[in-house]
Amino acid sequence: MPNTAITANRLLDGFVIYLTAEGGWSEHLADAAVATTKERETELLAIAERVAKAGTVIGPYTFKVDAADGRAVPLGQRETLRTLGPSVRTDLGYQAATL
């Protein structure tokens, strides 16, 4: 099984967020809990779905990651773009600080 992590969008502002090992959420992929087994993936997704039902986040799902230097790196173009922020008007939003 490939390594996976859980992502969603925060309802308050629409930011992309990642489920942490402590069951919280972070805007940084580096903080994401990485599941290395199907059982752990199922457990993490169940946590995320409970939070979604409470109305804090929307649309939690798993995505594939690779571990590079102990940090999660997204596999796939969609998740890479989600970690970087919007691809239009890069002068605005949180991605502007990295230009």
Cα separation, 79 vs 46, in Å, equals 20
Cα separation, 18 vs 97, in Å, equals 20
7-41 pLDDT, tens digit per residue, is 999 999 888 999 999 999 999 988 999 999 999 99
50-92 pLDDT, tens digit per residue, is 999 999 999 999 999 887 666 777 777 677 767 766 666 667 6
Q: Quote the tokens at residue 52.
A: 């979604």
**pTM summary value:** 0.80
Q: Does residue 98 surpass a pLDDT of 60?
A: no
Residue 97 amino acid letter = A
